[in-house]
Amino acid sequence: MSIGLILFTLADVKVSPNFDHIGVVLISMALFADAAIGNVQEKTMKQYNATNTEVVFYSYFIGFIYILCGLLIHGSLYNAFQFFAQHPMKTYGYALIFSITGYLGISFVLALIKLLGALVAVTVTTCRKAVTIILSFMFFTKPFTVQYIWSGLIVMFGIFLNVYSKNRVTMNNMVANFIRKILINIQIKRQKYSQTTFDV
């Protein structure tokens, strides 16, 4: 599913003239990190019996340190403070709304991890990303390329593999029964045809 979403993002190279390759690298890294962190969080909660609040705090605190180091190395921390000072309502206001909704979202994801496991949680978050991309096409006019279709199909195939891995025996039995019914119907039709031919 992550690969499908990355290919979906790379399709923008063909349709967007102001495309930044660094953004593709960053979003690809974010998708793979998102796929990995669910397993780390599940292991932490099970091994150390950590609460959702503890996992959120340490995950975001460590992420904050990484981002702070990146801003210091890049030298854009001062520019960011200047921009925030020039537009306090938009920046701090949006940051507050984003923080509240982000906390609610991560709490929901951690509840999924605790109750149903990392695989289900990652599937839900990846599907959410796919739905976000689809909604962006509905609400904003964007150029279209065929790569969007097969990238979406890869995402759907990833979802199918996830569902199949959870219900392998049931789905195998369903497919086997379906094939058996088809073969029986073919055999009955052949018998009827041969009987009709014999009678003639």
148 and 57 in a common domain: yes
Q: Is the pLDDT assigned to residue 97 strictly greater than 90?
A: yes
User: Residue 140 region, left (φ>0) first, then alpha (ψ -120 to 50), else beta?
Assistant: beta
180 and 137 in a common domain: no
126 and 199 in a common domain: no
Q: Is the pLDDT assigned to residue 17 strictly greater than 60?
A: no
User: Quick one: average pLDDT of 193-198?
Assistant: 62
User: Quick one: average pLDDT of 114-134?
Assistant: 75
Dihedrals phi, psi of 47, to nearest 5 degrees:
-75, -40
Q: Is the pLDDT assigned to residue 198 strictly greater than 60?
A: no
Residue 3 has a pLDDT of 78
13 and 75 in a common domain: yes
User: Quick one: average pLDDT of 169-173?
Assistant: 79
Distances in whole angstroms, Cα of residue 60 to Cα of each of 28, 36, 66, 82: 19, 15, 10, 24
pTM as predicted: 0.52
Reading the block at residue 184, the tokens are 């029986």
159 and 175 in a common domain: no
Residue 44 has a pLDDT of 81
Residue 96 has a pLDDT of 92
Distances in whole angstroms, Cα of residue 181 to Cα of each of 29, 167, 172, 190: 47, 21, 14, 14
User: Which residue range(s) make up the domain with 183?
Assistant: 169-200
User: Quick one: average pLDDT of 119-123?
Assistant: 74
121 and 185 in a common domain: no
Q: Are 162 and 2 in contact (CB under 8 A)?
A: no
Total domains in the fold of the chain: 2
Reported as a pLDDT band with limits 50, 70 and 90, residue 193 is low
90 and 31 in a common domain: yes
The angle that helices 147-166 and 2-10 make with each other, rounded to 10 degrees, is: 170
174 and 155 in a common domain: no
Higher pLDDT, 29 or 20: 29
149 and 137 in a common domain: yes
150 and 100 in a common domain: yes
Percent of residues, the chain, with pLDDT higher than 90: 4
101 and 15 in a common domain: yes
Neighbours of 41 (CB within 10 A): 23
**pLDDT, tens digit, 9 for 90 and up, residues 66-88:** 889 988 998 888 888 899 889 98
- Reduce the secondary structure of 122-189 to three states and give it as a string: HHHHHHHHHHHHHHHHHHCCCCCCCHHHHHHHHHHHHHHHHHHHHCHHHHHHHHHHHHHHHHHHHHHH
175 and 151 in a common domain: no
User: Quick one: average pLDDT of 135-152?
Assistant: 75
